């Protein structure tokens, strides 16, 4: 795990200043959640890996969670997913498509636009869905939606492969000619497995490692063991400098990119 800070609070802000123009961004996991409070494109508060009971009893340390936000984005992790071009997507056929996901009785299926060209059909653990209901299921999005949209909006070059590390999962993303060409997730346990999956994707995409730049975000730093191992096999490894919010100097953009990019979903069509 990389070394970075996991919480922040604007010293000049308080709960008493919060109003309907503030937005709450959430990532909900099986046993924890992360959140950010945003106002006028500025980060007000941020905390990672909070215990789920804080959603009901925030306490003074997380007082910003006491406000009933009008603008909420709740990101949910998938236990399986498939992408479908918008031209082929039919909301009436979601149940049929879900059969390919091997949905268990303890899982729910959701379908939403992922970007301008694709829908995502994904399954989520029912316990997580129940937690998300307190904020309204109409305000849920796929966990990586904001990150994907942020990268897509940055005009990604064809020699960049994007990796987002979330705990022991890596999401790998690739665009060609401005279009989403590849997205998938892999679970890894050590740097060598991370290198293997990244190399596997590069091979599938017919990309040459010695010409490929890896742009990293999430729980990783350029000089940690995971990034250092990747650097042995690829042309370049760099931390993402992509910013979607105004951040304090002590927070590096790549650390919070997936969460902060959910701000792009506040006015998303999924609402």
In order of their start, the domains of the chain are 1-147+260-271 (3.30.420.250), 155-241 (3.30.420.260)
Beta strand 213-218 pairing with 236-239: parallel
138: pLDDT strictly greater than 90: no
Whether the pTM exceeds 0.85: the reply is: yes
Distance of CA 37 to the CA centre of its chain: 16
218: pLDDT strictly greater than 80: yes
Q: What is the mean pLDDT of residues 104-133?
A: 95
Q: How many CA atoms lie within 13 A of 256 on its CB side?
A: 31
205: pLDDT strictly greater than 60: yes
Rounded Cα gap, residues 144 and 163, in angstroms: 11
Q: What is the mean pLDDT of residues 143-163?
A: 97
5: pLDDT strictly greater than 70: no
Residue 97: its pLDDT value, please?
A: 84
Residue 195: its pLDDT value, please?
A: 98
Q: Summarize pLDDT for 12-63 with one digit per residue, the tens.
A: 888 888 998 999 999 999 999 999 999 999 999 999 999 999 999 998 889 9
Residue 3: its pLDDT value, please?
A: 47
For 17, phi then psi, to 5°, come to -90, -15
> pLDDT band for position 268 (50/70/90)?
very low
Would you say 234 and 198 are in contact if contact means Cβ atoms under 8 Å apart?
yes
Rounded Cα gap, residues 181 and 202, in angstroms: 12
Would you say 147 and 171 are in contact if contact means Cβ atoms under 8 Å apart?
yes
Residue 1: its pLDDT value, please?
A: 41
């Amino acid at each position: 795990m990389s070394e970075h800070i996991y919480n922040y609070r604007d010293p000049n802000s308080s709960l008493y200043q919060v109003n309907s123009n503030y937005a709450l961004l959430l990532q909900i996991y099986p046993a924890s959640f992360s959140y950010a409070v945003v106002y006028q494109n500025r980060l007000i508060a941020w905390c990672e890996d909070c215990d789920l009971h804080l959603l009901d009893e925030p306490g003074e340390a997380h007082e910003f969670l006491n406000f009933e936000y009008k603008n909420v984005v709740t990101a949910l992790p998938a236990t399986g997913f498939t992408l479908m071009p918008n031209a082929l997507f039919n909301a009436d056929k979601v149940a049929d498509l879900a059969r390919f996901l091997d949905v268990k009785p303890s899982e729910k299926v959701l379908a939403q636009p992922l970007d301008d060209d694709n829908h995502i059909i994904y399954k989520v653990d029912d316990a997580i869905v129940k937690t998300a209901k307190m904020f309204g299921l109409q305000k849920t999005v796929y966990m990586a939606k904001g990150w994907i949209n942020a990268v897509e909006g940055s005009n990604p070059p064809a020699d960049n492969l994007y990796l987002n590390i979330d705990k022991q999962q890596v999401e790998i993303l690739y665009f060609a000619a401005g279009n989403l060409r590849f997205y998938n997730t892999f679970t890894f346990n050590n740097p060598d497995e991370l290198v293997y999956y990244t190399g596997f994707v590069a091979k599938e995409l017919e990309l040459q490692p010695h010409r490929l730049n890896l742009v990293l975000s999430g729980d990783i730093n350029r000089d940690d063991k995971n990034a250092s191992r990747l650097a042995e096999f690829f042309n370049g490894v760099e931390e993402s400098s992509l910013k979607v919010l105004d951040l304090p100097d002590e927070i590096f953009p790549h650390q919070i990119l997936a969460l902060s990019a959910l701000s792009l979903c506040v006015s998303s069509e999924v609402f």
